[in-house]
Chain A
């Protein structure tokens, strides 16, 4: 673990040093609350039950830019997808998108392709439910286990691909340079495929994602004070149901099992180790750029049942563009006291001031 933390610290420092003026070079989208397994494990992610998604090749999310050089980095998440660094010899869109090619169903081809590894930290100054002045560092891995396309989705996909091939064949026969062919094909497919549902807008009928995360806590942000905090394995199973109005209804089942050092006395730093199981469900409706979801999770401890709890939240999200989301999470988190959970994330800066997004 020490190696990981040191590697992480070095990488983070390198990233910060590379930025001549860090504040100016940080992109607006870096101020999103990350959805890495580590943040989900700490119950800090906007939504604990997440829809399966495509991880980025390399993602760096910064929550609280404090420029704390010389110590463990605070409040950020780093996610890497190794697949995108490889040049494969036998890759096809059927394997990448887990689509049947007529010979193989390719249900499980996402396991290595969608696997991402992440490191996250959350520094708690004085917030509730965490030790004060403690850095929580977590390592996580997640991937797609199964993807199944329904009959109607496969039909829509074939319609799109057949129409595209027809245009591509015409362009291939033209007497143009390679660059002109690329531009002509792009222009023609945008024009002629307007009325056909695009591949990118078609979602698989059923997907299962799995994740594992481990978190340690570092009191006073010192490595010597390292202590186990939590670990967990979890699974998300999602049905993506297309609606007639072009919206989508998502029904997501959630299960998580793990061990945890329960904080029973903040002042004396007293913990009790116990294992827990979470069972939850999320319903989400998405229409164009707007989505609203309801999430409920029941947490049961194996011996310390007095710590059993539930999380019930409403999540409203508006997609400003591909990189920017505005979202609000409101509801009750697991803990018994002070459990009102509100999270407001807006990835925008007004004037020269930066708006920091921190869980309260």
Chain B
């Protein structure tokens, strides 16, 4: 029996990578089915592992679909994925329930979406944060998928410039949940913004933690220690990228007893999490709600087009949030400079590089 223990421990440790496995998909029957609705158009959405209550990414996408369903006068169906093994089954179950358009949230669902789209040419798919181009030929892999992409580097660039100007210590920090392109695009843009500030002002503001990842998107002690280690380096602005890990950063800031400002990612943290208000300098907005709503709306009106959408500062798919409580703490001249930078990026005068815009 002692072998059993050891075996179990080995299996348990090996299974850590799949810690979320073994659970049935959480399927909501709460949202009524399409029959009762005034329209028989059925929009559906499947989350990635974060779930629809992640205060970022999945939640915003969900709100977009919800808004579109409301204005189309129809109901929606939603399925949450608990682990990667759920993706296939969840998407298939939505197809089986007769969904007209299926929104898949996150680049982790890319392969599943492409496969399902090719098998069901009558269903329309909208994938968020991925080009659905798994053979890398520059084309979407199925004619019935509309990819929604966000060049958040542009907004992060502005946040980086703002942070560099705001920082008293000459050090700003960032860290991510995992090394996904959708995460690093924030960090890269942020770094470029700081570099630009240094170039313009002749300063040498440092970015700490550029290759710092917590290995997951849980707000836990690992994320908190990561944030603490970065704060210990003397940063006074920190940008955590990856859903709820900002909560760990908040706890680390409180424990440090220092004056460290937080930059939110995806949604305006000041609004979505009121407990963070005293700390939020600004947020890098990725307006998934708006673009998802528009795409679903178009599908409902029969004008679905598979052309990839790329959110930029120009089309307001990405942006930075108002300063809220920090309005008084930031030099108005700096705010004006950020505004001017924004115009330069919109006009194409200033290029921010990212994987979406070489």
A, B from the same assembly? no
